[in-house]
Amino acid sequence: QMPFDRLVLAVDEWAGRTGRTDVFAQIGEGGEAPKHIGFVRTATPPEYDRLVDQADLMVSHAGTGVMLTALTHQKPILVMARRADLRETRNDHQRATIDRFRARSGIYAAADERELVAQLDQGDFGSGSGISPFASDELLRTVRAFIDN
């Protein structure tokens, strides 16, 4: 992924201002290093799963994969879309992703850094809702029927 300094630095500044020492981030390659939070550029899959399991809240870009991870781990997640006009992504598909997932329990969305920080200050996040990490029987039947035809 491309760096998402706007998100990382907003969370970093929030953690510094509030004295939070329990914030940890995976920031990807090439981005600016935070000053107040622990971080890795890239976590291994087992390390990432461990970090997710330990988290009370995930804060992330609005990628489908990370939202599905939050749902399968039953963690609340606060997301902010990357913006193409700021060269954080190639297009604005993450806005559509937020619109699709917004109604789901445990998924919170921030329009920008100010709203992200305001939601972190408020700290009113319920528990995350869960989904199975496996496809439903109904989906499997539908895919099989499609393939057979």
pLDDT in tens, 47-56: 999 999 999 9
5 token code pair? 């300094």
Question: Higher pLDDT residue, 15 or 93?
Answer: 15
31 token code pair? 């981005």
Percent of the chain with pLDDT over 90: 66
Handedness of CA 124, 50, 102, 96 (dihedral sign): positive
43 by Cβ neighbours in 10 Å (0-12 / 13-18 / 19+) ranks as: middle
Place 104 in a pLDDT band, splitting at 50, 70 and 90. confident
Output the pLDDT for position 107: 92
55 token code pair? 């988290």
Please write the tens of the pLDDT for every residue from 110-148: 999 999 999 999 998 877 666 667 777 888 899 999 999
Q: What mean pLDDT value characterizes the chain?
A: 91
Output the pLDDT for position 120: 97
The H or E element containing residue 53 is helix 45-54
For 35, what's the count of Cα atoms within 13 Å in the CB-facing half-sphere? Answer: 7
Model confidence, pTM: 0.85
Mean pLDDT of 27-51: 94
Output the pLDDT for position 136: 77
